[in-house]
Each structure stands twice: as C-alpha cells, then as structure tokens.
Amino acid sequence: MTKFLHLVRYYSTHHSDDIKFMHMKIFSFKNFRIIILLLLLAIVATYVKDQRLVTQGWYQTLNIVIYPINPTNSPIAQRYIDSLSDKNFSAIDNFIRRESKKYDIVTSTPTKTTLGQTLYVIPPAPPEIGGGPLQAILWSLKLRWWIWQHAPKEVDDKYLIRMFVLYHDPSQMARLKHSVGLQKGLVGIVNAYGVKSQARQNNIVIAHEFLHTVGASDKYNALGNPIAPHGLGNPKQSPLYPQKYAEIMAGRRAINTHHAEMPNGFKHMVIGEKTAQEIGWTSEL
C-alpha cells in the first residue's frame, strides 16, 4: 500500500501537465455540447413515450384542434374558412365515439374537435410518396421548427392533437396532395377542399390522419384499394364482396378485390379490430 501511494504521489508530481490535459480533453466544449444534446434527446424520447402512453390510454378526452390555412389565398377557400365553426367537425367526434363503444375504453368522449385560429403561413410540404427515410426525417425536423415558430402555444399539449388543414379551391387544384399524420409530435397536415360540398370527405381525411397520430397504420395498397382482411369494413362478411362498410384506415369501401369506392360520410365507415388494437382500444385481435 505504501509503495502504491508513493507511485501516485510521484505521478501526480511529475505528470501534472498530463492530468490537466486529460481534464481539459474530457471537459472540452465539444464534449459538453454532445452531453447536452444527449440529455435533450433523452428528454424528448421520454416525453414522446409519455405522450404515446397518454394518447393510447384513453383515460381522458383528446383535444383535436383544427388550424385552417388558405395556401393559395383563394377567395373561395377563404369564404369557406370564415364560415367554419366547431359544429363543422362534430361528425368526427360522433364517429370516434360511436366506434369506441364497441371496445372497452375508459372515457365516454374519446375526442373533442374544435376550430383553432386561422394561420397565414404554409407548413413545409411533406416529402413525396416513396421518398427515402432521410427526406422524412428532415421534413419532420422542419415541421417541428415551423410549429414552434407559427403554431399557437399551448400550456399542456399531452392531450392535444394539432391538425393543420390546407383548404384548396377545387377549380385551382383538381387532385389534392397526400395528407399525413405523425404519431411523434401528435400533428397532422391535411389537404382538403374549401367548399361546403366536400365537408364530409374533408372530415373523413381529418379523422384518418388523426388516427395515424395515435398509432393507426394505413390499410390500402399502392393502387388505393383496401388490403384484406384488415382493410375491409367486415372481413367476416359472406359473401365477402361487395363490402357494406369501409374501414377508416383503408378509406374506401371494397366492391371487389380490384375496385373500391369512397363512402359518402361516416355512416358507411367503421374502425376495424386491427386499427382498434393499434390505437390502444383493445389488446385482442
């Protein structure tokens, strides 16, 4: 032991510069930044996990807030946006509540959809379908930054799902770009038509993207047709086709294996067992 202490004393006396160098190297500014970044990532990961547990627990009502945007400054779309109220989105809550009664969840009012303030800055456009994972990651980061800059700040957003709805003039855009819903961040970007005749279809798209934010996956193929069995409204129906109902995450009612139709509103739509499992309504399939 005495010999060991002697060696320590000798090394500390003759190699103090080496010790100082190692100390500086360990606590350099670069390493400090890395530590801070890792801490931030750990905090974000914990928060995202907490958000997921909250939104898939269904112990409390989830607040869906619609933020309308007029991306082309269309007078027609603007008049439609100005006419909107909470009542225009009540069909979404009625549909979610009706379907939730088939499963054993705690809250009797799973969602409450309200109209938020109109925004005048366009969010970054999602990457095209088929884009690589790097594009998706970069877009997600840009979107988070955009939300931080332009979206209204909320005191507690654990139970908040933000849906940014871009209302287009049908005469200016014959085909809408695809919409997206992100579970990480609880946010959706929806492309819709700013005319009264498309209100039902708009609500279906909003509900579809909302369900993405709480864990549901798409159930249609590259051609837009429902994938059996989970993309069918009733996979136990006999005969199987034509289907009477459309599964919300398939979006269309299957007429046969190669053809499907968009239903006219929530009356002919359901949340199937696979989707219910994904969003935490049931553990069984």
* Residue-by-residue DSSP string for 94-154: HHHHHHHTTS--S-S--EEEEE---B-SPPPPPPPTT--HHHHHHHHHHHHHHHHHHSPP-
Tell me the residue range of the domain where 227 lies: 219-285
Angle formed at CA 36 by CA 35 and CA 40, multiple of 5 degrees: 120
- Overall average pLDDT of the 200-206 stretch: 97
Q: Say if residue 89's pLDDT is above 80.
A: yes
Flag whether 9 is in a domain.
Answer: no
207/228 same-domain check: no
pLDDT, position 267: 95
pLDDT, position 55: 64
258/235 same-domain check: yes
User: Where a domain ends, among 196, 215, 234?
Assistant: 215
Give the pairing type, strands 253-256 and 246-247: unpaired
pTM: predicted TM-score of the whole model, two decimal places: 0.82
Q: Compute φ and ψ for 192, nearest 5 degrees.
A: -140, 170
Q: Say if residue 131's pLDDT is above 50.
A: yes
Flag whether 65 is in a domain.
Answer: yes
Helix segments in the chain, DSSP class H:
2-14, 16-26, 29-55, 75-83, 90-100, 133-150, 199-213, 273-278
What are the structure tokens assigned to 225, written together? 């047709």
pLDDT, position 7: 44
Cα distance between residue 92 and residue 210, in whole Å = 10
Computed over every residue of the chain, the mean pLDDT equals 85
pLDDT, position 203: 98
Q: Say if residue 37's pLDDT is above 80.
A: no
Between 151 and 271, name the one with better pLDDT: 271
pLDDT, position 32: 61
Q: Which amino acid is at 35?
A: I
Q: Count structural domains, the chain.
A: 2
Q: Say if residue 224's pLDDT is above 70.
A: yes
* Segment among 38-52, 85-99, 183-197 with least mean pLDDT: 38-52
User: Where a domain ends, among 186, 215, 244?
Assistant: 215
Q: Model confidence at 34, in pLDDT bands (50, 70, 90)? A: low
pLDDT, position 35: 65
176/190 same-domain check: yes
The contacts of residue 229 (CB under 8 Å, 6+ apart) are 235
119/230 same-domain check: no
158-199 confidence digits (pLDDT tens): 789 999 999 999 999 989 999 999 998 899 999 999 999 999
pLDDT, position 4: 47
Q: Model confidence at 109, in pLDDT bands (50, 70, 90)? A: very high
- Overall average pLDDT of the 206-211 stretch: 98
* Segment among 68-77, 157-166, 197-206 with least mean pLDDT: 157-166
Cα distance between residue 158 and residue 152, in whole Å = 15
Q: Which amino acid is at 176?
A: L
Flag whether 4 is in a domain.
Answer: no
